[in-house]
Amino acid sequence: MNKHLAFPLLLLTSAHAQPLDKTVIAEGFHDPMEIAVAPDGDLFVTEREGRLLRVRPSTGGIFEIGALKVEALRASDPNSNYAREDGLQGIALDPDFANNQRIYLYYSDPEKVLDRLSRFTLKDGKLDKSSELVLIEVPTTRENKVCHHGGSVEFGPDGLLYLSTGDNTNPFESSGSSPIDDREGHEYANAARSAGNTNDLRGKILRIKPTETGYEIPEGNLFKPGTPKTRPEIYVMGCRNPFRISIDPKTRNLFWGEVGPDAASDTARGPRGQDEVNVAKAAGNFGWPFVIGNNEPYSRFDFATNKVGEKQNPAAPKNESRSNTGLTDLPPAQPALIWYPYAESPEFPVLGKGGRNAMAGPVFYHDSARKYNILGPEDDKTLLAYEWMRGKIFKAKLDADEKLKNLEVLADGFIHPMDLEMAQDGTLWMLEYGSDWWFNKNGKILRLLPSSGNKPPTISIEVSSADANQFLVKEASDPDGDPVTITWWLTEGATERSLGTGQTASLSGTTGTEVRAVATDGKGGIAIARVSLVKEKALPQLILDIGGQPKSLNFNQEVSFAVRAEGLDSSKVTVRARYIPPTGHDAGGPQFSTDVETLVTSKLCLACHQVAHPSVGPQYLNVSLKYRDRADAVDYLKGKLKNGSTGAWGEVPMPPQIAVNDEEANTIIRAILGLADGISEASGSASGKLKLAPQPPDAAPAGAWEISADAPGFLGAKFRVAAEK
pLDDT tops 50 at residue 5: no
pLDDT at res. 485: 97
CB 434 within 8 A of CB 445: no
pLDDT tops 50 at residue 584: no
CB 208 within 8 A of CB 220: no
Closest CA to 50 of 27, 26, 74: 74
Rounded to whole angstroms, the Cα distance separating 408 from 180 reads: 36
CB 329 within 8 A of CB 316: yes
pLDDT tops 80 at residue 11: no
Rounded to whole angstroms, the Cα distance separating 668 from 353 reads: 18
pLDDT at res. 7: 41
**Average pLDDT estimate for 645-658:** 70
pLDDT tops 50 at residue 353: yes
* Tally: H helices and E strands in the chain: 5, 47
**Average pLDDT estimate for 647-655:** 68
**Average pLDDT estimate for 493-512:** 91
CB 444 within 8 A of CB 60: no
Rounded to whole angstroms, the Cα distance separating 221 from 330 reads: 15
Higher pLDDT, 290 or 697: 290
Residues 6+ apart with CB under 8 A from 420: 244, 359, 361, 362, 384, 386, 393, 428, 429, 430, 431
Residues 6+ apart with CB under 8 A from 111: none
The helix (run of H) or strand (run of E) holding residue 665 is helix 662-674
Rounded to whole angstroms, the Cα distance separating 70 from 82 reads: 13
Lowest-pLDDT range of 448-462, 512-526, 582-596, 673-687: 582-596
pLDDT at res. 663: 87
pLDDT tops 50 at residue 431: yes
pLDDT at res. 677: 77
Closest CA to 243 of 344, 389, 382: 389
Most confident segment among 240-254, 549-563, 613-627, 656-670? 240-254
**Average pLDDT estimate for 610-626:** 78
pLDDT at res. 418: 97
pLDDT tops 90 at residue 620: no
Residue 659: C-alpha distances to residues 126, 352, 599 (Å): 46, 8, 12
Write the DSSP string, 616-654: SS--HHHHHHHHTT-TTHHHHHHHHHHH-EEEBTEEEEE
C-alpha atoms less than 13 angstroms from C-alpha of 534 in its C-beta half-sphere: 10
* pLDDT grade for 12, boundaries at 50, 70 and 90: very low
Residue 470's beta-bridge partner residues? 506
Between 662-674 and 620-627, two packed helices, what is the crossing angle to 10 degrees? 80
98 burial via Cβ count (<10 Å: 0-12, 13-18, 19+): exposed
pLDDT tops 60 at residue 625: yes
**Average pLDDT estimate for 167-173:** 93
* pLDDT grade for 699, boundaries at 50, 70 and 90: low
pLDDT tops 70 at residue 18: no
Closest CA to 215 of 139, 136, 268, 151: 136
* pLDDT grade for 633, boundaries at 50, 70 and 90: confident
* pLDDT grade for 412, boundaries at 50, 70 and 90: very high
**Average pLDDT estimate for 432-453:** 91
DSSP strand E in 140-217: where? 153-155, 161-165, 204-210, 215-216
Q: How many CB atoms lie within 10 A of CB 670?
A: 14
The helix (run of H) or strand (run of E) holding residue 421 is strand 417-422
Closest CA to 443 of 73, 37, 149, 25: 25
pLDDT tops 60 at residue 40: yes
* pLDDT grade for 580, boundaries at 50, 70 and 90: confident
What tens digit of pLDDT does each residue of 76-93 get? Answer: 787 788 998 999 999 999
Write the DSSP string, 474-494: EEEE-TT----EEEEEEEETT
Rounded to whole angstroms, the Cα distance separating 392 from 259 reads: 16
The helix (run of H) or strand (run of E) holding residue 460 is strand 458-463
The β-bridge relationship of strands 552-553 and 717-723 is: parallel
Q: Which residues of 343-360 are buried (b: 16+ CB within 10 A; e: fewer)?
A: eebebbbbbbbbbbbbbb
pLDDT at res. 561: 96
What tens digit of pLDDT does each residue of 85-139 get? Answer: 999 999 999 999 999 999 999 999 999 999 999 999 999 999 999 999 999 999 9
Rounded to whole angstroms, the Cα distance separating 618 from 605 reads: 11
pLDDT at res. 642: 76
pLDDT tops 90 at residue 410: yes
Cα dihedral sign for 532, 534, 535, 539? negative
Rounded to whole angstroms, the Cα distance separating 515 from 505 reads: 9
pLDDT tops 80 at residue 459: yes
What tens digit of pLDDT does each residue of 297-326 get? Answer: 999 999 999 999 999 999 999 999 999 999
Model pTM score? 0.82
Between 662-674 and 633-643, two packed helices, what is the crossing angle to 10 degrees? 120
pLDDT at res. 652: 65
CB 474 within 8 A of CB 461: yes
What's the mean pLDDT when you consider all of the chain? 90
Rounded to whole angstroms, the Cα distance separating 489 from 479 reads: 24
Look up residue 696 and give its amino acid: P
Q: How many CB atoms lie within 10 A of CB 39?
A: 13
* pLDDT grade for 2, boundaries at 50, 70 and 90: very low
* Ordered structural domains, the chain, with CATH: 9-450 (2.120.10.30), 458-532 (2.60.40), 543-723 (1.10.760.10)
**Average pLDDT estimate for 469-497:** 95
